[in-house]
Amino acid sequence: MTQNTISCELHDFVEVACMYGYRLRLILINGQVIEGKAIDIVSSLEKREYLVIEGDSKQQIELTQLVKMQVLTPNAKFNEVVFQ
């Protein structure tokens, strides 16, 4: 069984990124790098949470797949969050 939630503290950083519409660089567990603007957090019926990010297209990234979130927006409230 895999974990399908992240800590409340880490979740707060994702919420702030969405609230301010920060431009992000996400590094995922599989090594993939995704860049785009944080839009929202959505939940699935299976209680999994996803960050909606808009770059070339809108994508949903499962929060448990995040390794690192770097903020590219100047003068942001934080610069980087490490998830694992």
Task: Indicate if the pLDDT at residue 4 is higher than 80.
Answer: no
Per-residue confidence (pLDDT) for residue 21, from 0 to 100: 97
Which segments of 2-61 does DSSP mark as H helices, in order? 8-20
First to last CA, the chain: 18
Per-residue confidence (pLDDT) for residue 36, from 0 to 100: 97
Domain ranges of the chain: 8-82
Task: Indicate if the pLDDT at residue 2 is higher than 70.
Answer: no
Yes or no: say if 20 and 75 are a contact pair by the CB < 8 Å rule: no
Per-residue confidence (pLDDT) for residue 1, from 0 to 100: 38
Is the domain 8-82 a CATH 2.30.30.100 member? yes
Among 8, 23, 3, 6, smallest CA distance to 69 is for 23
Mean pLDDT of the chain: 93
Per-residue confidence (pLDDT) for residue 79, from 0 to 100: 97
pLDDT tens digit string along 27-58?
999 999 999 999 999 999 988 999 999 988 99
Angle at the Cα of 79 from the Cα atoms of 74 and 82, rounded to 5 degrees: 155
| Tokens (6 digits) for 27 | 């590094």
